[in-house]
């Protein structure tokens, strides 16, 4: 499983860093400490990025729902 950020090319380098960390579940405080900026700057960068528009997509490898397997092995979809 991995995250993909679509539209990231619209963002500045610092906005990309903040978005990647924020969307990975890090708190504003943790991001600020890691990047050496204030929590207010984290919030500003994140809000700017959201206004520019990007999309986070969760990609799950394989077939976790079991919908592409052999019909004899599972239940019918109907």
Here the tokens at position 18 are 């903040």
- Confirm or reject CATH 1.20.1250.20 for domain 2-59, answering yes or no: no
Domain extents for the chain? 2-59
Q: Of 7-11, 58-62, 72-76, which has the strongest mean pLDDT?
A: 7-11
78 Cβ neighbours under 8 A, 6+ residues apart = none
Helix (H) or strand (E) holding 68: none
The token duo for 48 is 């700017």
pLDDT in tens, 18-73: 999 999 999 999 999 999 999 999 999 999 999 999 999 988 888 767 777 655 55
Higher model confidence: residue 78 or residue 60? 60
What stretches of the chain show up as alpha helix (H) in DSSP? 13-23, 28-35, 39-52
Global pTM reads: 0.73
């Amino acid at each position: 499983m991995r995250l993909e950020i679509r539209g990231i090319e619209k963002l500045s380098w610092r906005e990309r860093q903040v978005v990647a960390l924020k969307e990975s579940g890090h708190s504003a405080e943790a991001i600020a400490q890691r990047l050496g900026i204030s929590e207010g700057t984290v919030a500003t960068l994140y809000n700017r990025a959201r206004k520019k528009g990007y999309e986070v997509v969760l990609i799950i490898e394989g077939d976790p729902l079991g919908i592409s397997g052999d019909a004899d092995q599972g239940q019918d979809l109907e």
